[in-house]
Structure 1
Amino acid sequence: MVKRPLALAVALLAGCGTPFGIYHEVRPGQTLYRIARTYGVDPAKLQRLNRIQDPTRIRPGDMIFVPGADRTREVPTMPTGGKRTATTTRSTQPPPKGSSGARERVEIASRPKATSTPKSTWSGGDAPKLIWPVPKGEVSSGFGQRDGAPHDGVDIRAPEGSPVLAAADGRVIYSGDGLKGYGNLIIVRHQGSWATVYAHNKENLVNKGDFVVQGQKIATVGQTGRASGPHLHFEVRFGKAPKNPLQYLAQRSTSSGS
């Protein structure tokens, strides 16, 4: 069981030096320059914000944080010389300044799935669609009041060492054991002001600053911190406000207990 101090921590971590924006997944043939021009962002700023040392070495599947954007856009691609992996469509974005004015073709490539679970669709401030962080776990304690105190998430019981998956794409803004009671804790920042929280882990497998994709294994179930047995304490937050995770996950029955 964990209590309110996390609310302030999430709000501070999520807001510290990280402006509003979205994550753009790099597709084959896209360059940092083209991504920046499509979103109207200075390429140097995009490179600096994402801590990219060599902008020519970004790869398909990389996640680029784009400040100020509220939705993903189709970015024109350069010919890759490889086999196309998906249908080619025409860009709806205006050509970069100085171009001939002809619309360029864009290749929409499918990202390899980390698991067989459905992909998340975060979009600006829209409510998130999440996958279960412990797919075969059992909800042992729900959201709301518990023993006269707020319970800002759900507890998902599972055998110790079970995989903990990222519920959606995002950036790790905290990975450590410095918040009393939570044990090994991970906080992932998503688009807009959304964040997900994973507590009591046996082992954290990602570090602060890492990009994670939905379904990626980021930790293992444990009982570190104040825990009454192996389980994942999972929270969904918008800013510092806790949200009931069950409203964003596939329906499951809950049982009493901890």
Structure 2
Amino acid sequence: MMKRAVVLAGCVILAGCVPGGRRAAPGPAPAPAPAAAPAPQPAATADEAAQLPAPAPAWETRPVNADARTVPSQRYVVRKGDTLRGIADRTGSASEAIARANGMTPPFTVRIGQRLSIPGGRYHLVRPGQTGIAIARAYALPWARIVAANALVEPYILRAGQRVLIPVDAARPASAAERAAAFTLDVDTILTGGEPAVAANQPPVRPVASPARVLPATAAVVAPAALPGRFVWPVDGRIVRRFGHGATGERSDGVKIAVPLGTPVRAVADGTVAYVGDGIAALGGLVIVKHGGGWTSVYGHASQLSVRRGQAVTKGQEIALSGETGYADRPELHFELRRGRTPVDPTTQLPRR
């Protein structure tokens, strides 16, 4: 029988417990010291950074207002000086939607007198730093539905000024709080909707080498380009839950490996950390690493997290300690491999034991 989800206290602490342990009762407050000019602080070392709270993800720091504009279907005749982007701005539709509706291909050139079909619908204007997750939460819709409606593809990074079509949902909750509560976070949503929108002509940032450097939550991080090569096992233990449908019919997108509490969890290949936190209740302490070739590895139920989002990691590097957080039945590691958006049985990609 599954345990109830562990309530994770406060922010996730890098190389700290997930959830936090019991704290000592505070003593009497000391007398205030005389005010003094703050001294310059040196950059944090890796050890010091391990004691700092992990920054909140961009979908928490940049919430979205559900202010989509309803645009009627219409016809538009191209004028002198028009561009596809300018036509989208004038009509309130999305340039990508107009291109699809009219069978246009790159470089999406329009000509004077051309008659274009402008697809109607509800369109949300993406602001700098907004994520697909925050947009989906604002409208109480699965992000996967918005991805499908807009034919979004890898690397799923939005741009400021882009418009995305919001599918109509008659059962949509009325208030912002109800819409946020109706939204469910999962691994696929983090992978396809977790990166913040970038400004025009601003590429994603490169990964950093150490947790001592903290990237802003609103900085989009580029995934590695090189293929990951041969994967290694994240831990040495016994598989207690296999990939696919179990006896009860419930599907597992990965495997669960029983290991002693506090076992080092290691990256299965070189990559970039895409997520560190506890936003998916069932998985508890969670690290997601993106690799080249569209591969992603997922490590759940951790008791301690040793890396930050945007950090470059190498094959075999410790990224967490095993635990029994989330809906774990015992001290264990939940481990997944994905190719694109598709979960893959890890045992078919890992060395035989």
Provide TM-score, normalisation by structure 1.
Answer: 0.54
Query: How far 1:186 sits from its partner (Å)?
Result: 0.3
**2:189 counterpart residue number:** 8
Given candidates 238, 244, 254, the residue that maps to 1:138 is 238
**1:26 counterpart residue number:** none
Richer in helix (by share): 2
Instruction: Give the Cα separation in 2 of the matches to 1:51 and 1:133.
Output: 21
Summarize the Cα distance change of 1:211–1:144 in structure 2 as closer, same or farther, 3 Å threshold: same
Summarize the Cα distance change of 1:70–1:220 in structure 2 as closer, same or farther, 3 Å threshold: closer
Instruction: Give the Cα separation in 1 of the matches to 2:222 and 2:279.
Output: 29
Richer in strand (by share): 1
State the superposition RMSD in angstroms. Answer: 3.1
Give the conservation status (yes or no) of the 8 Å contact 1:4–1:150.
Answer: no
The list of structure 1 runs, each at least 4 consecutive aligned residues, that deviate by more than 4 angstroms after superposition, is 1-4, 15-18
1:50 equivalent to 2:206? Answer: yes
SS in 2 for 1:181: helix
**1:104 counterpart residue number:** none
Residue type at the aligned position of 2:346: P
- The residue correspondences of 1:9-28 to structure 2 (distance < 5 A) are 9-13=190-194
Query: How far 1:11 sits from its partner (Å)?
Result: 2.9
Instruction: Give the Cα separation in 2 of the matches to 1:133 and 1:141.
Output: 15
1:251 equivalent to 2:349? Answer: no
Instruction: Give the Cα separation in 2 of the matches to 1:235 and 1:208.
Output: 18
Query: How far 1:7 sits from its partner (Å)?
Result: 2.5
Residue type at the aligned position of 1:223: E
Q: Deviations over 1:194-240 (max 9, x none)?
A: 11000000111111111110000110110000010000000001222
Q: Deviations over 1:132-164 (max 9, x none)?
A: 000x21111111102211100011110000110
Provide TM-score, normalisation by structure 2.
Answer: 0.40
Query: How far 1:179 sits from its partner (Å)?
Result: 1.3
Give the conservation status (yes or no) of the 8 Å contact 1:166–1:215.
Answer: yes
Give the conservation status (yes or no) of the 8 Å contact 2:303–2:323.
Answer: yes
Query: How far 1:17 sits from its partner (Å)?
Result: 5.9
Instruction: Give the Cα separation in 2 of the matches to 1:216 and 1:207.
Output: 13
Instruction: Give the Cα separation in 2 of the matches to 1:224 and 1:191.
Output: 29
Instruction: Give the Cα separation in 2 of the matches to 1:66 and 1:6.
Output: 18
Q: Gaps spanning 5+ residues in structure 2: where?
A: 6-183, 209-220
Given candidates 245, 252, 257, the residue that maps to 1:156 is 257
Residue type at the aligned position of 2:206: N
Summarize the Cα distance change of 1:51–1:174 in structure 2 as closer, same or farther, 3 Å threshold: closer
Given candidates 254, 267, 271, the residue that maps to 1:170 is 271
1:179 equivalent to 2:280? Answer: yes
SS in 2 for 1:49: coil
Summarize the Cα distance change of 1:149–1:51 in structure 2 as closer, same or farther, 3 Å threshold: closer
Number of positions where the alignment pairs a residue of Structure 1 with one of Structure 2 = 157
Q: Deviations over 1:153-190 (max 9, x none)?
A: 01111000011000011111100011121100000011
Instruction: Give the Cα separation in 2 of the matches to 1:196 and 1:223.
Output: 19
Given candidates 193, 210, 217, the residue that maps to 2:311 is 210
Instruction: Give the Cα separation in 2 of the matches to 1:180 and 1:51.
Output: 27
Instruction: Give the Cα separation in 1 of the matches to 2:250 and 2:300.
Output: 18
SS in 2 for 1:228: coil
Q: Gaps spanning 5+ residues in structure 1: where?
A: 19-43, 53-64, 72-120, 123-127, 253-258
Instruction: Give the Cα separation in 2 of the matches to 1:246 and 1:10.
Output: 22
